[in-house]
Structure 1
Amino acid sequence: MADTIQEPRATTQDVRALRRSPAEGLAEEMTRASTAQVSLREIAYAVMTAVRVEPGSAAARRVEVELGCPLPAGVGQVGGADGRSVLWLGPDEFLTWSPEGSLDPAAAAADLAAGIGSDRGQAVDVSSNRTTLELSGPRAASVLAKSVAMDLHDSAWPEGRAHATLVAGIPALVWRVEGSTYRVLPRSSFAEHLGRWLLDGMSEFADPAGEALWR
């Protein structure tokens, strides 16, 4: 009887080497277009969990213990602890965000789902559903204002706030992480469209040599 030939199993490292982030094809263009005035990059493979749970319920309190922080209580609020941020999306809807490598995506969702238990709610790994484009620099708000109808003034949109809105005509989350740094979270399928739109908006602030025109 002939020996059975077994194919080697792919390791986690092998699989990760084959990954391609949604905006990877624009990486070089983003680097070339970035200046001291405004820069654009993709933060790929962030760990994201969609959470539905009723605030104030026993399940919500267990989720908060797992997160290490209270759930955001109002429109636009962002909480977090230990490098994981929690964005308010709706009265009982939240999104957790952590950088790649900080948590195992499946385990992070499973731990939150265990906190909800048999109560009403859910926690689902949605890390592949969105990507994160980070726009930063003194002119970041000027570029973003070309695509967002919401008021970006400090008084209307202070740092540490996130809102679901339309950016370049597509649904996305816009998160003002700090003063001049915004993270835009589109669906992965729209990443290239939005990336090119932002790159076009940035072109106003650079000359052909890539140096900032505005001081």
Structure 2
Amino acid sequence: MPRSAIEHLSGALARTGGPARLRELPFLSQVELRLDDEDADSFGPRVGQFLSCEIPAPHRATGKGDPHILWMGPGWYLVVDRQNRALGLLAGLLSAIGGDCGGTCGSAVDVSAARTVLELSGPAAQEVLRHGCALDLHPRSFTPGTCAQTNLAQAQIVLHQTAPHDYRIFVRSSYADYLTRWLLDAMTEHLARS
């Protein structure tokens, strides 16, 4: 039976609430997709058709739920879906990018075990993040649908804003305990108010 990266902190997570809530979304399916720049225009629509959402523009995410796609860099995307969907994603993505060019137009790799996902939500979520993130998180700069690779409390993360007060934080499993404890500490003042 697989164990989540921060299962041992579930009691502390359950005590969060009010203006700032934190929970783990364990075992989400995550597939990294690489498309060669010159082939992205050709194969992007096929990938989008398979996933029912478009390839995102830089620093954006697309999709209205699961699956959704995060832009990670030029020609580099992270496809995220519910648990136990990685093999189906992988097969569909490889089929979408492999057809006309002998499989040399890009690659797809299951990276589900590499990261866990934390969800920070509530009206104080942005303030909690600002304690350790150098990004400009003001609503004029960072809006729902925005994503970026950055550091939070010296841990490398992918930050995805999913709604006005909701953020998903993708963190390597080896840093999940550290970052969760840091977030719980940064939330202390907000939890005391609720």
Query: TM exceeds 0.5?
Result: yes
Aligned to 1:44: 26
- Does structure 1 residue 154 correspond to structure 2 residue 139? yes
Aligned to 1:79: 62
- Does structure 1 residue 174 correspond to structure 2 residue 159? yes
Matches within 5 A, 1:55-204: 56-74=40-58, 76-80=59-63, 83-100=66-83, 104-117=85-98, 118-204=103-189
- What is the alpha-carbon distance in structure 1 between the residues aligned to residue 89 and residue 21 of structure 2? 31
Letter aligned with residue 112 of structure 1: L
How far residue 170 of structure 1 moved from its aligned partner, in angstroms, is 1.3
Cα gap change, 1:91/1:192 in structure 2, threshold over 3 Å: closer, same or farther?
same
Cα gap change, 1:99/1:152 in structure 2, threshold over 3 Å: closer, same or farther?
same
How far residue 61 of structure 1 moved from its aligned partner, in angstroms, is 3.0
Letter aligned with residue 192 of structure 1: D
Unaligned runs of 5+ in 2: none
How far residue 83 of structure 1 moved from its aligned partner, in angstroms, is 2.1
- What is the alpha-carbon distance in structure 2 between the residues aligned to residue 178 and residue 138 of structure 1? 11
Q: Is the 8 A contact 2:18 2:191 kept in 1?
A: no
Which structure would you say has the larger Rg? 1
Match of 2:14 among 31, 35, 38: 31
Instruction: Provide, for residues 105-125 of structure 1, a one-character-per-residue CA deviation record: whole Å limited to 9, x for no partner.
Output: 112112101211113210111
Cα gap change, 1:183/1:82 in structure 2, threshold over 3 Å: closer, same or farther?
closer
TM-score, length basis structure 1? 0.83
TM-score, length basis structure 2? 0.91
